[in-house]
């Protein structure tokens, strides 16, 4: 006689197996770890499916070793499936961390975006040590886009991002917070070192398109002298950056 509960369990496990197969097929080209994990999950689930099937049909077949086979498939399948779940949990954690990282990055330059810089600010603020906030704004960005095309404009931005990254190194955080605007949170340096960093950035950015009168304007503020929150520090640095831009325009 058929056992309704065993039939339901068997059908459920079969449906779950087919679902996992389809999900594996859909995602196998995306991440190597996912493919590897799915293989383990499918192996364990397949053994459980075999066990539930034989458990369902056991009343109508006469095989002496059927119960030993069912027990072995259930036990081995469950162990393998649990291993797969553990690996899947680890993979899911990595995927979440990857998405969090992407959410904090600017896709063009791979620098932090505004949200990423706000998080970086919180980290460095908790150290309660002096640091600089530097605002950088590219000059003649609109002219580059209008006269020479957006490909040249993109090169202007990405080249500047690399120059700033090389100049700052591991001493701080760098973000792109607008089309042609960058922000740097830099660990404390003496004023001479800051001026050297600013000079280096200006010189190298100018050399990207020297014949097109391009360049970069910078202004900086110091925590906690100029403010104790990011908005105030950006405001002070932005005002000084604007003065730098005006001085450059007068010299041009």
Q: What is the tens place of the pLDDT at every residue in 161-219?
A: 999 999 999 999 999 998 899 999 999 888 899 999 999 999 999 998 887 778 999 99
What are 33-47's pLDDT values in tens digits?
456 777 888 899 999
**What pLDDT is recorded for position 102?**
73
Contact 136, 234 (CB under 8 A): no
Percent above pLDDT 90 for the chain:
47
- Crossing angle for the helix pair 32-57 and 66-103, to the nearest 10 degrees: 150
Give 242: exposed, middle or buried? Use CB within 10 Å, 0-12, 13-18, 19+.
Answer: middle
In whole angstroms, give the CA distance from residue 163 to residue 177: 16
Global confidence as pTM: 0.67
pLDDT, one tens digit per residue, over 157-166 is: 999 999 999 9
| pLDDT higher at 155 or 89 | 155
């Amino acid at each position: 006689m058929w056992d309704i509960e065993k039939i339901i369990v068997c059908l459920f496990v079969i449906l779950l197996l087919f679902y996992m197969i389809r999900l594996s097929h859909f995602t196998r080209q995306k991440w190597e770890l996912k493919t590897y994990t799915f293989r383990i999950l499918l192996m364990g689930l397949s053994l459980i499916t075999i066990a539930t099937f034989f458990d369902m049909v056991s009343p109508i077949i006469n095989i002496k070793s059927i119960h030993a086979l069912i027990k072995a498939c259930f036990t081995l399948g469950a162990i393998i499936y649990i291993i797969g779940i553990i690996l899947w949990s680890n993979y899911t954690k990595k995927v979440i961390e990857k998405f969090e990282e992407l959410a904090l990055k600017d896709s063009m330059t791979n620098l932090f975006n505004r949200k990423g810089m706000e998080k970086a600010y919180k980290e460095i603020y908790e150290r309660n040590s002096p640091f600089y906030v530097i605002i950088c704004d590219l000059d003649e960005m609109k002219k580059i886009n209008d006269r020479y095309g957006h490909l040249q404009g993109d090169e202007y931005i990405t080249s500047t991002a690399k120059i700033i990254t090389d100049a700052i190194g591991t001493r701080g955080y760098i973000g792109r917070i607008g089309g042609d605007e960058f922000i740097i949170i830099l660990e404390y340096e003496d004023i001479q070192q800051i001026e050297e960093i600013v000079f280096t950035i200006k010189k190298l950015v100018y050399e990207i398109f020297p014949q097109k009168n391009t360049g970069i304007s910078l202004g900086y503020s110091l925590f906690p002298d100029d403010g104790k929150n990011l908005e105030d520090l950006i405001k002070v640095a932005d005002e000084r950056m604007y003065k730098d831009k005006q001085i450059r325009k007068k010299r041009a």
